[in-house]
Copies of this chain bind each other. A is one copy, B any other.
């Protein structure tokens, strides 16, 4: 078995919590009787949709940026992302007063670019291919000396994401299980570390769209099996696990369950209608798993991390009504 270097530990999550405390929100934990009775579980919704930049990604990005030495930080940070990590890194760099360079595919939505530039970052457009992204990022790093902060496969980012579960466990009291969505695995791996450290009896489950089920298959086969053609409305979950997130997840996670697109949309709508919270499709995946009865957690106290709330109000998945 190959040793993966630089894996974060529970202590790193604790240090991250102290480091980012003043930079991010301690988000509230909501409950909703209707969702409880529909699932048969007692749910505790950790509202990372109310986090800075509208997603838990602010935690990892802040932990990474704030842990740089002054010398490292002096040339700024860089990443490639078209999603919440881009905005989060821009936000974190702005807090520290250093430049952020974000490589985004040229077909990214204007509203996403505007969010990133709104936080003061420099956006560099590239062709919408992985090769183009990576070569432009390499060029940016070479030219500027900026530190690359990977969206998830970075121990500082993973430790930062784990602070959400730390707060959830502190606020909700004993939990039988915690469910998170899984894309690149930053949130799930951080949650694994936090739960193992604070509450080893709490089962941590990853939940994933069936159309982007690389975590499910990777766990099953015992090796990284990336999604080659991920298809899901949950745009935050189209990425595949990295070797660091996979190493932590395979060690700690109770399991990965997959859900249908239909369940994701239904769960998202339920949270909007009954919990009155704006969440993005990725955030709805854990609830979808409970509604699909993919997990048998009846009568249990279940934490769910509502990972983010950045959604295009012009294009809601239920807007294509037929009547």
Q: Is A204 an interface residue (CB 8 A)?
A: no
CB 8 Å contact bits of A141-182 with B (1 = contact, 0 = none): 000000000000000000000000000000000000000000
CB 8 Å contact bits of A277-292 with B (1 = contact, 0 = none): 1110000000000000
In the bound complex, CA of A53 to CA of B278 (Å) = 18
CB 8 Å contact bits of A249-270 with B (1 = contact, 0 = none): 0000000000000000000010
Q: Measured between C-beta atoms, what is the minimum distance from A27 to chain B in Å?
A: 10
B273–A276 contact, CB under 8 A?
A: no
- Look across to chain B and name the residue whose beta carbon is closest to the beta carbon of A31: B25
In this complex, how many residues of chain A approach chain B with their Cβ under 8 Å: the count is: 21
Contacts A28-B28, A319-B319 hold; do A49 and B314 have CB atoms under 8 A apart? no
Interface residues of A in 43-71 (CB under 8 A from B): 47, 49-50, 54
Copies of this chain present in the complex amount to: 2
Q: Measured between C-beta atoms, what is the minimum distance from A268 to chain B in Å?
A: 10
B50–A272 contact, CB under 8 A?
A: no
- Look across to chain B and name the residue whose beta carbon is closest to the beta carbon of A273: B313
- Look across to chain B and name the residue whose beta carbon is closest to the beta carbon of A315: B321
Q: Measured between C-beta atoms, what is the minimum distance from A53 to chain B in Å?
A: 11
In the bound complex, CA of A49 to CA of B49 (Å) = 16
B318–A314 contact, CB under 8 A?
A: yes
In the bound complex, CA of A10 to CA of B70 (Å) = 57
B276–A50 contact, CB under 8 A?
A: yes
Q: Is A309 an interface residue (CB 8 A)?
A: yes
Q: Measured between C-beta atoms, what is the minimum distance from A136 to chain B in Å?
A: 29
Q: Is A293 an interface residue (CB 8 A)?
A: no
A314 cross-chain contacts in B, Cβ below 8 A: 318, 321
- Look across to chain B and name the residue whose beta carbon is closest to the beta carbon of A274: B54
- Look across to chain B and name the residue whose beta carbon is closest to the beta carbon of A25: B31
Q: Residue among A28, A47, A276, A314 with the most chain B CB within 10 A?
A: A276
CB 8 Å contact bits of A177-190 with B (1 = contact, 0 = none): 00000000000000
A49–B276 contact, CB under 8 A?
A: yes
In the bound complex, CA of A314 to CA of B278 (Å) = 15
Given contacts A269-B313, A313-B318, A314-B318, 13 further A-B contacts (CB under 8 A): A30-B50, A49-B276, A50-B275, A50-B276, A272-B278, A273-B278, A273-B313, A276-B278, A276-B279, A276-B309, A277-B277, A277-B278, A314-B321
Q: Name the 4 nearest CB pairs between A and B, nearest first.
A: A276-B309, A276-B278, A49-B276, A314-B321
